Amino acid sequence: MTATPRQASAGDGIHLTAAELIALQPRCHSLRLPMRQAAASALAGAYRSRFRGRGVDFVESRNYQPGDDIRNMDWRVTARTGRPHTKVFQEERERPVLVAVDASPSLFFGTRTRLKSVAAGQMAAAIAWSAVRRGDRIGGFLFAPDGHREVRPAGGRRGAMRLIQGLVEWLDPARARPDEAAPLSTALERVRHAVRPGSLLIVLSDFFGVDDDCNRHLSRLRQHNDVIGCQVLDTAEHDLPLGRYPITDGREAAILDTGRRNSRNRYEAMGLEHLTGPRRLFQRHQCGWLTLHTDDDPVDVLGRELRMLVGTTR
């Protein structure tokens, strides 16, 4: 029996493949990433951005912030107020779309259809193809406890393929180190110092690594960029059938008995906090939010959720 092209390019749910990510392209043509204003011309990627940055039309002066281009200093306002001010412009340009992908050990888990790492990779690829379709440049930040990799934004198929290559290499289960972990704030801090103002940033993670410093970095990122969080989940992380389950954090092992009411209640409470805590954090800073389960179709989820996100990210 001959396999269809879609079946032939499908992965095993454990190892991410370039073929399955490339095969998503035709399904992503109708997706529309949130944009802040209608296109300024018929040229792909040319639109007047509501992101405020360097450009043609002067908008206002505001207090200077670290990272601002000193060539845009407003010396008159600075002299009058005694505090450094910079000019803010409205610009027309292609928008960088960046995906920050978490490759922590907890992502290499899944009980339904695929690992969370594979689901995250597929979602990142769908975002890339959607960005390419509308003329944006696509890039990314790939993070693991033992390091990080930056994929600089590039346009067209070349930009998508560079990201796909990075995803396949970085989300390889062989890279996972169960005994290592790093807070998500480390990744967000690197992104904050590297991302260009006016970018759309999508953070793909299960958000087990959220810590107090994430609040500060999200606040800074949100000042000059649109940010969307996408939480990748497996149902077993918040809803387990009755039974006895061996569990480990990579260092210590124990038995979780969900047949015992106290154990089940504690597990469900932890699961609920994991579902709601990161979402509250992102929404506090007026960021968008997506939820992706391992048995969801990433393209379907992206299309459905983006329709609700358009116009709400600022």
Model pLDDT, residue 67: 66
pLDDT confidence band for 178 (50 / 70 / 90): confident
- Answer whether 299's CB lies under 8 Å from 29's CB: no
The arithmetic mean of pLDDT across residues 92-101, rounded, is 82
pLDDT at 48 over 50: no
Q: What is the mean pLDDT of residues 209-235?
A: 95
pLDDT at 57: 55
List pLDDT tens digits, range 226-241: 999 999 999 999 888 8
Average pLDDT over residues 173-178: 84
Average pLDDT, the chain: 84
pLDDT computed for residue 1 by the predictor: 36
pLDDT grade for 37, boundaries at 50, 70 and 90: very low
pTM above 0.75, yes or no: yes
Q: What value does the mean pLDDT take over residues 129-155?
A: 92
* Residue 67 or 252, more confident: 252
Q: What is the dihedral of CA 115, 142, 279, 95, to 10 degrees?
A: -120
Average pLDDT over residues 67-83: 86
Asked if 15 and 173 touch (Cβ cutoff 8 Å), the reply is yes
pLDDT of residue 41: 33
- Reported as a pLDDT band with limits 50, 70 and 90, residue 64 is confident
Task: Delineate the domains of the chain, giving CATH numbers in brackets.
Answer: 5-35+95-309 (3.40.50.410), 47-93 (no CATH)
160-187 burial, b if ≥16 CB within 10 A, otherwise e? bbbbbebbbebbeeebbeeeeebbbbbb
Q: For 119-132, what is the mean pLDDT?
A: 96
In this prediction, residue 175 carries a pLDDT of: 85
Q: Which residues pair with 62 in a beta bridge?
A: 86
pLDDT tops 90 at residue 11: no
Show contacts of 255-259: CB within 8 Å, 24+ apart: none
Q: What pLDDT, on the 0 to 100 scale, is given for residue 238?
A: 87
Lowest mean pLDDT among 45-54, 55-64, 81-90: 45-54
The SS3 assignment for 179 reads: coil
Residue 92 has pLDDT above 60, yes or no: no
Q: Name the band, by pLDDT with cuts 50, 70 and 90, for residue 44.
A: very low
**Contact call for residues 108 and 115 (beta carbons, < 8 A):** yes
Distance (Å, rounded) from C-alpha 166 to C-alpha 151?
8
pLDDT, average across residues 70-97:
81
Burial class (CB in 10 A: 0-12, 13-18, 19+), 155: middle
* Model confidence at 220: pLDDT above 80: yes
Helix (H, G, I), strand (E, B) or coil at 248: strand
Q: Region 154-176: what's the mean pLDDT?
A: 94
